[in-house]
Amino acid sequence: MTTAKTLLQLAGTDLDPPRLGDAALVLIDIQNEYLAGPLALPDARPAIARAAALLARARESGAAIIHIAHRGKVGGLFDRGAIVAELSPRAGELVIEKELPNAFAGTDLQARLAATDRKNIVLAGFMTHMCVSSTARAALDLGFRATVDADACATRDLPDGRGGTLGARTIHEVALAELSDRFAIIARGDVLK
């Protein structure tokens, strides 16, 4: 039996993550809605701690930093959704609001990234299977090289369509495996410097 390989591995693609100083860090939807209530993520706190450390390193290295915040309908989920305190944007850091899962859809994210003159983007945030995944997939189509910090992302349990539940960690790992096949480099541990 042969060892499974991604399409990127089969193509001989360079899978080394970029240096943070040469990249743009895009923090996606790391908002208070994911800490309590119907969208609470079981691994939100560890992912926030990891994202905060990543953000600190990105600031030190001179990376371009873009915060993405999902804006919901008044009275619904993400009404007045706020970025968690640990990842509060600093003066000069761009904040882009979006209404769809893909952070490029209906926003000026592509133009803002182009203005940084960086083709490498590092993604972190919520939820792995939804907004992180759709943004990474779109990034490929737009000519960006995406890296996902696996430990700075989290997701939630989902129904399995048969009356059961698929656990958040399984959903997270499957989403990362799908992305690793063609759409993104998956970084684990402290490889992003």
Catalytic residues: 29, 98, 131
**Parallel/antiparallel/unpaired status of strands 165-166 and 158-159:** antiparallel
Give the sign of the dihedral formed by CA 176, CA 13, CA 188, CA 101. Answer: negative
CB distance 48 to 72 below 8 Å: no
Q: Which residues contact 16 (CB under 8 A, 6 or more apart)?
A: 185
Amino acid present at 12: G
Stated length of the chain: 193
DSSP string, 98-114: ESSSSTTTTSSHHHHHH
Amino acid present at 99: E
Helical packing angle, 133-141 and 168-182, nearest 10°: 10
